[in-house]
Structure 1
Amino acid sequence: MRTRAKICGITRIQDIHAAVNAGVDAIGFVFYEPSPRYVNIELAKQLAQHIPAYVCIVGLFVNATEDEIEKVLKDVPLDVLQFHGDETAEQCRYIAQQHQRRWYKALQVKPDVEYSELISTILQYQQAGASAMLLDAWHPELKGGTGHSFDWSQFPKLDIPLILAGGLKPENIEDAIHSTHAYAVDVSGGVESAKGIKDQQLIERFMQGVQRGSAK
């Protein structure tokens, strides 16, 4: 089975076309104002019109209230909610149920994390209804988009789709997939020429690496 791929933090129409043409499975919009990849509702609405059927639209939220998420969903046809803050399993479950959306939770993997503790946390969110879990590199201040990776030997093997993020780029994606056997990979800065500005050639090279890694 080919590893799925999502490109997150898209802010321009031409980047959507580049991603779709390269064969991505999902496109992510960041609804977190401190992020350099933030898009407001109006821009996200315009961008979403250029995403064809069979390409999933994911909305990334960081400690957003239900009202804030509801305002986005009124105008932007998100397929999946990505909770990337300190949301509890119960908070994720409640918001997703209220708006009839699938969801997954991002966890930042600290260098000194106890493997058993990581597994326990993943299972907690799975039991609450998560469709997947995303594992990202830990940073004391940033919520994703750090450009850093974590120890891939810590990547667990569980009966839930696991998404690998953090420091992925065309040069290492093949090895990342081979090492972790992740269900999906999520990239943002690794295919950019500047913050929020994707590079078509980097996207194409990244997706080629996904194909090679999946074939191993």
Structure 2
Amino acid sequence: MSARSAWPDCGEGPLERNINDIRVKICGLREPEHVASAVAAGAAYLGFVFFPKSPRHLDVPIAAPLALSVPPGVAKVALTVDATDDELDSITAAMPIDMLQLHGRESPARVAEIRARYGLPVMKAVGVAGPEDLAALDSYGRVADQLLVDAKPPKDAVLPGGNGLAFDWRLVERKYWPCPWMLAGGLTPFNVAEAIRLTGARQVDVSSGVETAPGRKDSNLIRAFIAAARGAVAA
């Protein structure tokens, strides 16, 4: 299946999913137990953050064994923010990464450049606060393999994402772009089903919504989030 397919295969393995399933990404993982919990609960993507300002940041030598522990069939995503080629070289050389997530101010040209340089699917995060932000999704959707539709951070925010903020989901209700997309921003086990039903999203991303404190994941919340997301489809 091609990188730009609506349901990209990121390796063959035992975790095969029906095309109608909701695919969940658990981002900002730092501990082996939480990686194992996310895999066991059925996460489709696991995100590892390489951004020193984030409480979820991992140094490459610490992240490598976590990535190596992930079984085939679960995509390993490296989240970076305006990373240089040297930084991306270091990450991709040290561990088996299936997708690069660009969460900074990378231009469409930079997205295309990274995609060509590394030969990996690229997910571009785009912050949304109002209708004026939707045009960027069309632009990035033409060069990225996937879009992460996230809440736009406040102007004084230190982090470009993972702030636990939601946006008006009606802005992206039943919207379609040139490539597959994933809903993020303020999602929790308590609201993800509503978000899925309202927007029609087939993929969702969570980080702070399954934490007890910034950067501290909780296995029970991870399981509850994935169960709630899947329950939205069943309902």
- On the 8 A contact 2:127/2:133 being kept in 1, the answer is no
Partner of 1:132: 146
Alignment counterpart, residue 51 of structure 2, candidates 20, 32, 42: 32
Deviations, residues 68-121 of structure 1 (Å, cap 9, x unaligned): 1111100021100100000001101101211111101101112xx2x3x43431
Find the residue that maps to 1:148 and give its secondary structure. coil
- On the 8 A contact 1:163/1:185 being kept in 2, the answer is yes
Residues of 1 paired with 2:31 and 2:94: CA distance? 18
Find the residue that maps to 2:126 and give its secondary structure. strand
Partner of 1:91: 110
Partner of 2:195: 176
Root mean square deviation of aligned Cα: 1.2
1:120 aligned to 2:135?
yes
Question: TM-score with structure 1 length normalisation?
Answer: 0.94
- On the 8 A contact 1:61/1:83 being kept in 2, the answer is yes
Structure 2 unpaired stretches of 5+: 1-19
Alignment counterpart, residue 172 of structure 2, candidates 139, 155, 167: 155
Alignment counterpart, residue 31 of structure 2, candidates 3, 12, 16: 12
* Aligned ranges 1:47-86 → 2 under 5 Å: 47-86=66-105
- On the 8 A contact 1:137/1:149 being kept in 2, the answer is yes
Deviation at 1:194, TM superposition (A): 2.2
Residues of 1 paired with 2:134 and 2:149: CA distance? 11
Q: Number of residue pairs matched?
A: 211
Structure 1: which 4+ aligned runs deviate by more than 3 Å?
none
Question: TM-score with structure 2 length normalisation?
Answer: 0.86
